[in-house]
Structure 1
Amino acid sequence: MYESVLIPTDGSGDMREVADHAIALADRFEAAVHALHVVDDRAYGSIPDDVQQRVEETLTADGEDATKAIAQRALDAGLDTVREVRWGNPPAGIVAYATENDISLIIMGTHGRTGYDRYLLGSVTEKVVRVAPMPVLTVSVGDEDGDDEPLVGISMTDSTQEN
């Protein structure tokens, strides 16, 4: 059913819970695991030129570390892995990567934000769920009070089906 699973990562501690679910599901279906980090280049456009290169190197290295952590866990489970760091708009970058690589399933975390936090910060996961042409599995992690305990609940969304 699933030949490839994409795990977009922001490198946060919450990704451990998401990776647990994703790797277990990938293992069940013997699917390849793709780990992706998209650096939001819009957030760093106003940095002075004299520090721009150092910032880009640091953010790329952080993305490499984040994808390496997921890829290593997948390799330890005996799964084929691919990892990549891209720059751009995260939701668009995730969907583009998934489409380009014929990904069967995207698995992402949600942070349980509500109200103004969700409105002001937006949600990469929510945007991916709305436009991805393949199913997106969301794993609820953390909560709005900053507690690192995962929330109970997983929801599966397939934007290709009509509501």
Structure 2
Amino acid sequence: MYDRILVPTDGSEEMRCVLAHAAELAEAHGAELHAVYVVNSSTYASLPMETSWEGVSGMLEEEGESALEDARRIVGEYDVSLTTHLLEGPPNKEIVRYAELDDFDLIVMGTHGRGGIDRLLLGSVAERVVRASTVPVLTVRVGREDDTPDVSATGKAHTSG
């Protein structure tokens, strides 16, 4: 069913269960697994002019490489091929663009499951990806007190949970 699975990571501790879930899926389906980290350079547009962009850019890339190294370590516990990529731009747009251009069968993403005013104020990369992607998206809810991930999948024409 799945030959190519994409899992975006932000390097947070919560991503461990998302990466493990994606690796289990890839292992079960004999699929390739790709992890991406998106350097969101637009977030740092408000830095003072005297701030060196090269220094900030280097720091952001190091953070991304560290997140991808964590992904390699976590996925290394599974019998799965992992390829990592460092991208730059708005995370939701880059994730969708990359998944659609490289012909992925599934995107596995973590979500904090925020609702109400938090979601409106903070936005959600996962929600934006779900809305914009033609590739099916499986969301893994992270950051819950009981640490039990909730998993839901959305496809082009259906939703299952």
Q: Fold match, TM over 0.5?
A: yes
- Tell me which amino acid in the other structure corresponds to 1:4: R
Question: Partner of 1:113: helix, strand, or coil?
Answer: coil
Deviation at 1:49, TM superposition (A): 4.9
Q: Distance in 1 between matches of 2:149 and 2:23?
A: 18
Structure 1 residues 152 and 62: alpha-carbon distance in aligned structure 2, compared to 1, 3 A threshold: closer
- 1:126 alignment partner in structure 2: 127
- 1:94 alignment partner in structure 2: 95
- 1:116 alignment partner in structure 2: 117
- Tell me which amino acid in the other structure corresponds to 2:136: P
* Alignment check: 8 A CA contact 1:95 1:128 kept: yes
Determine if the alignment matches structure 1 residue 27 to structure 2 residue 19.
no
Give the fraction of aligned pairs with identical amino acids, expressed as a percent: 40
Question: Partner of 2:113: helix, strand, or coil?
Answer: coil
Q: Distance in 1 between matches of 2:154 and 2:43?
A: 28
Misfit runs of 4+, over 6 Å? none
Determine if the alignment matches structure 1 residue 74 to structure 2 residue 61.
no
Structure 1 residues 101 and 49: alpha-carbon distance in aligned structure 2, compared to 1, 3 A threshold: farther
Structure 2 spans left out of the alignment, 5+ residues: none
Question: Partner of 2:87: helix, strand, or coil?
Answer: strand
1:55-82 Cα distance to aligned partner (Å, 9 max, x none): 1111111111111221333344232221
* Alignment check: 8 A CA contact 1:32 1:80 kept: yes
* Alignment check: 8 A CA contact 1:18 1:139 kept: yes
Structure 1 spans left out of the alignment, 5+ residues: none
Determine if the alignment matches structure 1 residue 150 to structure 2 residue 147.
yes
Deviation at 1:22, TM superposition (A): 0.7
Q: Distance in 1 between matches of 2:33 and 2:149?
A: 24
- Tell me which amino acid in the other structure corresponds to 1:150: D
1:89-115 Cα distance to aligned partner (Å, 9 max, x none): 100000011112111110001102122
Q: CA RMSD in A?
A: 1.7
TM-score, scaled relative to structure 2: 0.90
Paired residues in the alignment total: 158
Q: Distance in 2 between matches of 1:162 and 1:153?
A: 18
* Alignment check: 8 A CA contact 2:138 2:154 kept: yes
Q: Distance in 2 between matches of 1:98 and 1:140?
A: 21
Deviation at 1:151, TM superposition (A): 4.4
Determine if the alignment matches structure 1 residue 161 to structure 2 residue 143.
no
